[in-house]
Amino acid sequence: MFIRMIRGALIRQWKKMAMIGFTIALGASLATAMLSVLYDVGDKVNQELKAYGANITVVPKEASVISDLYDVEGGESSGAYLKEDELGKIKTIFWAFNIVDYTPFINVNAKLDDGSSVKVVGSWFNHHMELPTGESLDAGITSLRSWWEITAGSWLDEQAEADENAAMIGTALAEKTGLTVGDTIHVTGDVSDGSYRIVGIFDAGGEEDDQIYTPLNTAQALAGLDGCVDSIEVSALTTPDNELAIKAAKDPGSLTIKQYETWYCTAYVSSICFQIQEVITDSVANPVRQVADSEGAILDKTQMLMILITILSMIGAALGICNLVTASVMERSNEIGLMKAVGAQNSQITGLVLLEIIIVAIIGGAIGYVAGFGFAQIIGHTVFGSAITMRLVVIPIVAVIVILVTLAGSIPAIRMLLRLRPCEVLHGR
């Protein structure tokens, strides 16, 4: 009988129930969309902040102490190099998944035909790597120097012109030499000389504008430094630093074993640096404070902003649902009065009305979850150009919110109606 009454109510009043379900679906979709975006916004914004370039630099141990200092006096660099064949190891550290990009550099001093000296920088442009994990990665300065403006030609494509001596030159150098895309530039290094075809001219707004950028091997050959790398720039997704990370950055030895594990297994910039030092022989990895610190600040702010907006919209959705449920229960004063008049007990009436609404709420909530996930994808694709991951944790949160809000909206209204006397209600007062 109970089931029949509920089924009857749902079918007979389907229009009204559909409206309640619709509103609940809207509220649930709002909550789902906001929560999904909220959980993902950190990662997504982090990815965007990669536009600022690498947040970790790796240099040889000795060089980090002296070479830069003597460079100041115009001398040659010190002779300590990292090994090129170890580069792949960076993608094997604990936080390998968080390393989105990295590129090696080798700086070589060479001379142009007119006798003036020029710096030739060897690097990866879009170096293709097959990783031991089966994934592949295209890394290099094409993405790590995203702020370079290509004024003529295009980025050097390593995969397409692997054997050719191709190069990119800065605008200042192009102006000085009068060379353009398609021309050949001839440079003499310490060991050998080379003629490179210019495929692109870039404007970097810094000292790079006077330099020549070539593939790594080309520059190494010029100075006879096969297999040597000056420095590596690494771009990693990191967690903003906290006290533990600051303490660990000074001296990992000062941590207790438990703290050490927490630190090692969290993507702090200092723990990633530490892990890179472990795999690259005689290296020192340092966070680039300008990028690493600012990233943390901006991430925190964005997340906080999203949290507050989410809270507001959740309150809005909750009140909206609550409101409608109250309105729709109060509307049924006649029906409840009639039920009481024919002898229904308060608990029976409450159970009946609540169950009806909960059924509608569950259906509405389920539809809302799907719709909300769709909204989240719209946001993900329009703003960040990538999908928002589906997080299972959102489902229970939304379910609890929907059920709680529905109950909170209906119970006070039901109680109020039960207090009314049936004859008064039926009389229409």
Partner 1 sequence: MNKKRKMYFRMITASLMRRRSRMLIALLAIAIGATILSGLVTIYYDVPRQMGAEFRNYGANMILVASEESFTLEDVDQSMSYIKQNELVGVTPYHYETVRIHELPVLAAAMDLEQVQKTSPYWNVDGDWAASDGELMIGKTIASDMQLGVGDSITVTWTPSAGDAEAETTAQNEDELILDNEMEMTITGIVETGGSEEDYVYMSLADMETLTGTVPDLDIAEVSVSASGADLENYKNAITDNVDAVNARLVKRVTASETTVLSKLQALVLLVTIIVLALTMITVATTMTAVVTERRKEIGLRKALGASDQSIRMEFLGEGLLLGGLGGILGSILGFAFAQAVSINVFSSSISFRPLLVPITIIVSVVVTGAACMIPVRSATDVDPALVLKGE
The footprint of partner 1 on residues 363-392 (CB under 8 A) is 375, 378-379, 382-384
428: exposed, middle or buried (Cβ count in 10 Å: 0-12, 13-18, 19+): exposed
Query: Least distance in Å: CB of 202 to partner 1?
Result: 10
346: exposed, middle or buried (Cβ count in 10 Å: 0-12, 13-18, 19+): middle
Judged by CB under 8 A, the chain residues 231 through 260 that form the site for partner 1 are: none
Written as six digits, the tokens of 311 are: 């809270």
CB 144 within 8 A of CB 53: yes
- Of 100-108, 142-150, 168-176, 357-365, the segment contacting partner 1 by CB under 8 A is 142-150
Number of residues counted as binding partner 1 (CB under 8 A): 74
Judged by CB under 8 A, the chain residues 193 through 232 that form the site for partner 1 are: 203-206
Beta bridge partners of 112: 187
Judged by CB under 8 A, the chain residues 262 through 301 that form the site for partner 1 are: 286-294, 297-298, 301
Query: Least distance in Å: CB of 207 to partner 1?
Result: 11
Residue number, 359 or 383, with CB nearest to partner 1: 383
Q: Three-state DSSP class for 211?
A: coil
Query: Least distance in Å: CB of 418 to partner 1?
Result: 16
CA distance 213 to 165: 11
Work out whether strand 184-188 and strand 136-139 pair parallel, antiparallel, or are unpaired: unpaired
- Of 64-72, 155-163, 353-361, 400-408, the segment contacting partner 1 by CB under 8 A is 64-72
> If we measure between CA atoms, which residue out of 185, 115, 124 comes closest to residue 157?
124
- Among 160, 327, 400, 404, contact with partner 1 (rule: CB under 8 A): 327
| DSSP secondary structure code for residue 161 in this structure | S
- Of 82-90, 133-141, 145-153, 386-394, the segment contacting partner 1 by CB under 8 A is 145-153
Could you say whether residue 92 binds partner 1 (CB under 8 A)? no
Written as six digits, the tokens of 117 are: 């000296």
CA distance 415 to 417: 5
Could you say whether residue 76 binds partner 1 (CB under 8 A)? no
Residue number, 34 or 156, with CB nearest to partner 1: 34
